[in-house]
Structure 1
């Protein structure tokens, strides 16, 4: 696969431009990335500027972003500490790259001399100046607070490091009719099975792909999710309709290690291929919304709430630590809103 990638500004957004010779297979692959777009003006495909995309295309933000020797040593120690605490690989990578950015910014200053004012300066002179998101800023703050609480003793008072104001973004939810169209779009039983299982159990993409046949308890009609997000096990109810579909699927595919395997027997199904399956489904049924796999999970929770399921049970089913996380679905449920009569109707 021959391609080149570089950082660009497009409509005042930080993006990654990817160029390659015109090739149907490569075009299909690039479309698997979330928010991949074609620019007719620049004649390139471009993607969001994220750590994951930079890493995938070997753009080392780190071009010119290597911290001082002291910073490199501290990053190594920080990574070792996180690993010893059994943080997930993704969390370790996210925290280390966030801290790397901060330490690079102060590569000329000894770490022990850093203060809270330096954190504010970094926020204003780097994060805000480069239009980086509040969620990315929050990642930086998480990494900095954790690092200075466990690795170094400095002039920084971690309790006084403030976080960005959170945007109140509502989850995206599909109607039951839209969900049905999407789930019935594929005739391939494997593709249909994966999408149906995500919606019917409110699974995250990673949770679905980590499932093994032994996680399906047909006697109790539940699915056991092992070591899910936050290293927590939980169980979710298994619909009798889904169980019948699973039996047909199992007879046809006979999975060995994972419930859904890729082309190589015993290997997990690829997450990007699953995203492409969803994109193909929404294209077939002509839904114009930018639906992602997580929309199916959001829709599951909202539809449960609208059918009268107690919020505490929904919290358990989704694996949320805090009820506040689950309460956001009360803001997108239309059950009560639809009963409100507009004063316009009385005019």
Structure 2
């Protein structure tokens, strides 16, 4: 008969209940099915938090699987009847922040995850273990009712998954936390004429240079803001993008036609470190770029909803329309998966314009036949008059 010995030990932020057993792969896999079970390399054992509710749930799990257990080493008086006192909110968030940074998440991701987890902990300030119902209520009240975008909903689920893995406080199988399917939207793309109008009507030299850089090289907004002068290789007509999304380096093109504008900008503003610098020499902010892009769109009479990323979408789409191989576009954009780049095939005009509308085909056939009714065909006339 398989047997597990339960014991107390101090680890991390307090008392834990450890599980000791003779190695048995099926038993190990069975134990791992218990929500909230964690592994410690320091003590080389599985463990759970030391509260009565979670321990009772573990014992029921063992009994259900026909696993014998020995709890003679446990002093139940040391267990809180319901749960251990909740740690202060700031303390829990600081620990979670260190955990995320240890996983090497970007600053933006850490900030987003902390924001969602903070809201979750504020909703349950005195709770130290969580059920599926707790999560469902939070999603309903904080995410669904506020009509968050699908992408934000997915980020929220990811944030809570990581928090439960960090804290070990979930009393349910975290694999049940399902993210909603991604929305399938086609990107907004400017025509080549609209891009040129946008650049021509951007009056400020620095702003025009920034927008031209994003479009001509297909940069993300973060890549533009983090771009340093040392990474612009004019001789080789290349720009080195350091540790961008997914912590990857890559090279992008430096357009020949962009050089006169670049020289003019560098000689006029003389930035010291970053390609885009404010008066104090610090980096520009994303909100500042969005602001002057919005103004430029108004002057160019562009009615589409445009963001800095729209210029990146336009770069990729126009490259595809010009006949550039999709694999090269994927490399230039820094996409990990070709499927991400494939979205531009749905908005490129190179193939769509070759497909004839049935209306065009019908009228063409009519004209070629020399049909006498052709003279009466006036699609633009006012039929109400």
Offset of residue 177 of structure 1: 0.7
Aligned to 1:88: 106
The SS at the match of 1:224 is: strand
In the aligned structure 1, how far is the partner of 2:301 from the partner of 2:117?
Answer: 43
Matched, 1:232 2:248: yes
**Deviation string for 1:246-284 (max 9, x for gaps)?**
2222222221111221112x2223333322221221121
Q: Aligned partners of 2:219 and 2:286: how far apart in 1?
A: 13
Question: How far apart are residue 223 of structure 1 and its match?
Answer: 0.3
Partner of 2:76: none
Work out which of the residue numbers 304, 324, 339 in structure 1 matches 2:354. Answer: 339
Q: Which runs of 4+ in 1 moved over 4 A?
A: none
List runs of 5+ in structure 1 lacking aligned partners.
1-67
What is the root-mean-square deviation of aligned Cα atoms in Å? 2.0
Which of 265, 274, 280 is the matching residue for 1:258?
274
CA distance in 1, matches of 2:215, 2:306: 13
Contact 1:183/1:196 (8 A) holds in 2: yes
Stretches of structure 2 lacking an aligned partner (at least 5 in a row):
1-85, 363-385
Question: How do residues 202-221 of structure 1 correspond to structure 2 at under 5 angstroms?
Answer: 202-221=218-237
Indicate which of 101, 108, 123 corresponds to 1:105. Answer: 123
Contact 1:262/1:268 (8 A) holds in 2:
yes
Contact 2:271/2:277 (<8 A) preserved: yes
Assess if the C-alpha contact under 8 Å between 2:188 and 2:305 holds in 1. Answer: no
Q: Deviations over 1:157-210 (max 9, x none)?
A: 222211112211111111111011001112433221111111000111221122
Q: For 1:166 and 1:201, how far apart are their aligned partners in 2?
A: 27
**In the aligned structure 1, how far is the partner of 2:205 from the partner of 2:154?**
41
**Count of residue pairs the alignment pairs up:** 277
Report SS of the residue matched to 1:313: helix
Pair member with larger Rg: 2
Give the secondary-structure state (helix, strand or coil) at the position aligned to 2:241: strand
Q: Contact 1:305–1:311 (CA<8 Å) still a contact in 2?
A: yes
Contact 1:210–1:268 (CA under 8 A) maintained in structure 2: yes
CA distance in 2, matches of 1:319, 1:252: 31
Question: What TM-score comes out, normalization by structure 1 length?
Answer: 0.74
Once the two structures are TM-superposed, the CA of residue 319 in structure 1 deviates from its matched residue by 1.4
Residues 6-53 of structure 1: per-residue CA shift (max 9 Å, x gap): xxxxxxxxxxxxxxxxxxxxxxxxxxxxxxxxxxxxxxxxxxxxxxxx
